[in-house]
């Protein structure tokens, strides 16, 4: 390439490359990207954001937990041999009694009896069902009979094998349909969950600032997701900055609304347990905020990548498009995608609160009174904060991508995108 080519406008550059027979493979996307002022500026901004995220991970990485929460003895595998109904309690009500074979622990292979309680309030595992049981601490009193003589208690069904096979089926289907992209997506999900369980949750329990922890954790997950599924290029850079600004907006707004609405998380049924787990140093309001940020991240990432991909697809289809045309075309796509994504987010929170909605409906509680309760106000706030972040992500990411891509030769853009 002649030295003067670098000074040509993007559109003239594209026509020059086509006329001289240079294809899109002559220069990879990052090379064409970094030769433009907008590309370098965006790369520097995202690079600084990445460095700050790594610095935040290092500074906020949790140490040893303040306290260890005990939820009782660990459960053991068992198999139901028989199930029948017996009379129990002071009024001889019908109760469910199981005979189980303990498959782990000191009584492995032995048959034990477990009484669950009233049949209408307890699980009904059939013979052959895999269950989990817990060993009662201490030996039963001398001459004890009935419930007092039982050495084990029913914990729950053993669902681990079902969950494992479901995860395997999902992985096989994803890889079969999308090949290496599906494999990278699965790796990204695994790494994201690792970040949440190894950093975000322990950091919250250690008493670190929930605002900083949720932001840093969400940004780290974002970089992992974008890096694995989209690489480093115009699409990822524009999406990363758009998602980051939207996350910052959603986090700040969420913090403000939680304060104004007096939602502090103390009414949660898990509040006493969380206080015990963190030795009283955990901000329950911060847990609500972190949940909102993490809950919104998935749809924000999808929207950001989709908008950046739409801009690049328009640019490849018509290299003569400038920033205004790219923005208008991609924004029209984002507007349609936005309505569907908001619908998805709302339905996700409705599904999570469905049991509570059933109780509210059966009690004939009015809508105004129902949403005033903390149990419904929290998911309502989370949904609205996520929707506001989504609405902001569309113009932000579209504008950044249009500004960047309009100055990059169309032939250097990747051929594949994530467009809805």
Per-residue pLDDT for 181 more than 60? yes
Residue 77, token pair as written in the block: 């595998």
Residue 30: which pLDDT band, with cuts at 50, 70 and 90? low
Per-residue pLDDT for 21 more than 50? no
pLDDT at 34: 64
* Least trusted range by pLDDT, from 23-27, 333-337, 386-390: 23-27
Domain spans in the chain, listed from the N-terminal domain onward: 29-66+206-412, 76-159
Per-residue pLDDT for 19 more than 50? no
Per-residue pLDDT for 217 more than 60? yes
Query: Top-level CATH class of 76-159?
Result: mainly beta
pLDDT at 175: 87
Per-residue pLDDT for 307 more than 60? yes
Region 301-307: what's the mean pLDDT? 86
Residue 5: which pLDDT band, with cuts at 50, 70 and 90? very low
Residue 32: which pLDDT band, with cuts at 50, 70 and 90? low
The per-residue pLDDT of the chain, averaged, comes to: 78
Burial tier of 207 (Cβ tally within 10 Å: 0-12, 13-18, 19+):
middle
- Of 250, 287, 282, 294, the C-alpha closest to 265 is 287
Calculate the dihedral angle through the C-alpha atoms of 146, 149, 154, 155, rounding to the nearest 10 degrees: 140
pLDDT at 80: 93
pLDDT at 54: 94
Region 52-67: what's the mean pLDDT? 82
Region 181-195: what's the mean pLDDT? 86
- How far apart are the C-alpha atoms of 37 and 140, rounded to whole Å? 78
Per-residue pLDDT for 345 more than 70? yes
CB 43 within 8 A of CB 34: yes
Task: Report pLDDT digits (tens) over 78-127.
Answer: 999 998 888 877 777 888 889 999 998 888 989 988 888 888 888 888 88
pLDDT at 241: 86
- Of 28, 125, 140, 43, the C-alpha closest to 80 is 125
Region 224-232: what's the mean pLDDT? 80
In whole angstroms, how far apart are CA 158 and each of 164, 292, 410? 12, 31, 55
Angle CA 243–245–250, to nearest 5: 90
Residues 6+ apart with CB under 8 A from 116: 95, 96, 97, 98, 122, 123, 154
Residue bearing the bigger pLDDT, 327 or 18: 327
Bridge partners (DSSP) listed for residue 84: 97
Question: What's this model's pTM, rounded to 2 decimal places?
Answer: 0.72
- How far apart are the C-alpha atoms of 290 and 254, rounded to whole Å? 9
The three-state (H, E, C) secondary structure of the chain, written as one string: CCHHHHHCCHHHHHHHHHHCCCCHHHCCHHHHHHCCHHHHHHHHHHHHHHHHHHHHHHHHCCCCCCCCCCCCCCCEEEEEEEEEEEEECCCCEEEEEEEEEECCCCCCCCEEEEEEEEHHHCCCCCCCCEEEEEECCCCCCCCCCHHHHCCEEEEEECCHHHHHHHHHHHHHHHHHHHCHHHHHHHHHHHHHHHHHHHHHHHHHHCCCCHHHHHHHHHHHHHHHHHHHHHCCCHHHHHHHHHHHHHHHHHHHHHHHHHHHCCCCCCCCCCHHHHHHHCCCCCCHHHHHHHHHHHHHHHHHHHHHHHHHHHHHHHHHHCCCCCHHHHHHHHHHHHHHHHHHHHHHHHHHHHHHCHHHHHHHHHCCCCHHHHHHCHHHHHHHHHHHHHHHHHHHHHHHHHHHHHHHHCCCCHHHCCCCCCCC
* Least trusted range by pLDDT, from 12-16, 203-207, 328-332: 12-16
Query: Top-level CATH class of 29-66+206-412?
Result: mainly alpha
Per-residue pLDDT for 322 more than 50? yes
Region 35-64: what's the mean pLDDT? 85
- Of 77, 192, 313, the C-alpha closest to 184 is 192
Region 187-192: what's the mean pLDDT? 87
- How far apart are the C-alpha atoms of 91 and 30, rounded to whole Å? 77
- Torsions phi, psi for 85 (to 5 deg): -115, 135
Region 69-73: what's the mean pLDDT? 59
* Least trusted range by pLDDT, from 9-23, 127-141, 356-370, 398-412: 9-23
């Amino acid at each position: 390439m002649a030295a003067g080519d670098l000074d040509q406008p993007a559109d003239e550059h594209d026509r020059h490359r086509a006329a001289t027979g240079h294809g899109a493979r002559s220069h990879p996307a990052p090379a064409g990207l970094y030769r433009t002022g907008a590309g370098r500026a965006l790369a520097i901004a995202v690079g600084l954001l990445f460095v700050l995220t790594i610095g935040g991970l290092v500074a906020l990485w949790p140490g040893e937990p303040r306290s260890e929460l005990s939820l009782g003895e660990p459960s053991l595998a068992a198999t139901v041999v028989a199930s029948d109904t017996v009379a129990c309690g002071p009024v001889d009500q019908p109760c469910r009694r199981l005979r189980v074979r303990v498959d782990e622990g000191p009584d492995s292979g032995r048959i034990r009896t477990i009484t669950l309680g009233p049949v209408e309030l307890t699980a009904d595992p059939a013979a052959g069902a895999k269950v989990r049981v817990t060993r009662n601490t201490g030996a039963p009193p001398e001459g004890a009979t009935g419930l007092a003589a039982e050495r084990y208690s029913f914990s729950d069904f053993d669902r681990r094998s079902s969950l494992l096979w479901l995860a395997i089926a999902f992985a096989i289907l994803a890889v079969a349909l999308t090949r290496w992209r599906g494999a990278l997506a699965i790796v990204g999900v695994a790494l994201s969950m690792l970040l949440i369980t190894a950093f975000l949750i322990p950091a919250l329990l250690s008493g670190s600032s929930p605002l900083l922890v949720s932001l840093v954790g969400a940004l780290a997950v974002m970089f992992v997701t974008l890096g694995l599924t989209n690489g480093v290029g115009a699409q990822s850079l524009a999406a990363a900055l758009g998602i980051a600004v939207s996350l910052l907006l959603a986090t700040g707004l969420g913090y403000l609304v939680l304060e104004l609405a007096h939602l502090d998380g103390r009414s949660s049924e898990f509040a006493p347990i969380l206080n015990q787990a963190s030795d009283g140093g955990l901000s329950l309001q911060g847990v609500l905020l972190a949940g909102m940020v993490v809950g919104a991240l998935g749809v924000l990432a999808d929207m950001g990548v989709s908008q950046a991909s739409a801009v690049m697809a328009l640019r490849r289809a018509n290299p003569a498009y400038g920033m205004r045309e790219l923005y208008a075309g991609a924004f029209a796509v984002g507007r349609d995608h936005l309505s569907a994504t908001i619908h998805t987010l709302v339905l996700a929170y409705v599904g999570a609160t469905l049991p509570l909605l059933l109780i509210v409906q059966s009690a004939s509680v009015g809508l105004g009174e129902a949403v005033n309760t903390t149990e419904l106000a929290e998911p309502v706030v989370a949904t609205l904060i996520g929707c506001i972040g989504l609405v902001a992500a569309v113009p932000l990411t579209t504008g950044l991508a249009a500004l960047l891509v309009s100055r990059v030769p169309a032939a250097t853009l990747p051929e594949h995108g994530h467009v809805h």
